[in-house]
Amino acid sequence: MISQIVMSPIGFLRLTVEDGRVTGLEFVRGADRMNRTTSTSFTGPSARPSRGSSRGPSAHLPRGLSGGPSAGQSVCLSSGPSTGPRVVPLHTESSADGNERDRNALAQAIQELDAYFAGRLRNFSVPIRLTGTRFQQSVWDALRQIGCGETKTYRDVAMAVGSPGAARAVGNACAATPVAIIVPCHRVVAQTGLGGFGGGLDTKRWLLELESRHT
């Protein structure tokens, strides 16, 4: 098993891989919000405090990374002309049984996230493993059927999994998604408004705008 903190255009993320599959992609808490710039017209969500962040996977930043840059300092994520934003590895935690399959899966996940944030990738192919109840699994399967640049309501997903009255339960399943972004819980919205999201509504809006612009 390998767990790695990466910096992305939407902030710190924790990637976890085990047995050659991604098992976790979480928004990391405990770091100061930072201004971020990129080599394209896309920048990360605003540095103002995020709203609507009660849902979705999250973790806490390791003690050694808790400070972040000093106030007002920018983190440049440029990777050269036309390549777009970057996903930058910062901190790795490996268990004794971390192996080549895990390292390859981690490298593939970082490469695909990098391409996604640059607008060059619509569908992830990195292997994942999701652990949850039968209902959660059915919801997560339905989420992966929502195309890049599309959105569905919680009620739409409830109907798709054969439980038309379970929109609230669908929202709870979205909140429990262990692999954010790759399992696109950000593409599920409320009947009126964005709904919730673990990375905050600014991040959810930014992801949807990113996908809309590159679809």
Considering only 98-102, 111-115, 169-173, 200-204, which range has the smallest mean pLDDT?
98-102
Domain co-membership, 139 together with 101 = no
- Residue tagged 């036309």 (tokens): 82
Distance of CA 177 to the CA centre of its chain: 10
pLDDT at res. 128: 98
Contact predicate 199/206, CB 8 Å: no
**29 pLDDT tier (thresholds 50, 70, 90):** confident
Kindly state the average pLDDT of the residues 32-37. 39
Distance separating alpha carbons of residues 214 and 130, to the nearest angstrom: 27
Specify the length of the chain in residues.
215
Q: What is the pLDDT of residues 90-140, one digit of tens each?
A: 888 877 666 899 999 999 999 999 999 999 999 999 999 999 999 999 999
Number of domains observed in the structure of the chain: 2
Question: Does residue 183 sit within a domain?
Answer: yes
Domain co-membership, 145 together with 107 = no
**215 pLDDT tier (thresholds 50, 70, 90):** confident
Domain co-membership, 95 together with 148 = no
**Which phi and psi (to 5°) does residue 43 adopt?**
-125, 165
Question: Does residue 10 sit within a domain?
Answer: yes
Looking at residue 99, the DSSP 8-state letter turns out to be: -
What the block records as the tokens of 113 is 């996230």
pLDDT at res. 96: 62
Domain co-membership, 26 together with 59 = yes
Domain co-membership, 104 together with 181 = no
Domain co-membership, 81 together with 42 = yes
- Per-position DSSP letters for 35-82, written without gaps between them: EEE-SSS---S-SSPPSS-SSS-EEE--GGGSS-SPTT-EEE---STT
Domain co-membership, 102 together with 152 = no
Looking at residue 31, the DSSP 8-state letter turns out to be: S
Question: Does residue 128 sit within a domain?
Answer: no
Q: Coil, strand or helix: which one is 29?
A: strand
Kindly state the average pLDDT of the residues 35-41. 36
Domain co-membership, 37 together with 80 = yes
| From 76, 148, 174, 185, the catalytic residue | 185
Kindly state the average pLDDT of the residues 45-57. 49
Distance separating alpha carbons of residues 52 and 63, to the nearest angstrom: 25
Distance separating alpha carbons of residues 36 and 74, to the nearest angstrom: 6
Check whether 22 has a pLDDT greater than 90.
Answer: yes
Q: What is the pTM of this model?
A: 0.79
Q: What is the pLDDT of residues 61-89, one digit of tens each?
A: 444 444 333 333 333 333 334 444 479 99
Distance separating alpha carbons of residues 167 and 76, to the nearest angstrom: 40
Active-site residue, 148 included? no
Residue 148's CATH number: 1.10.10.10
pLDDT at res. 93: 80
Range of the domain at 193: 134-213
Domain co-membership, 143 together with 89 = no
**30 pLDDT tier (thresholds 50, 70, 90):** low
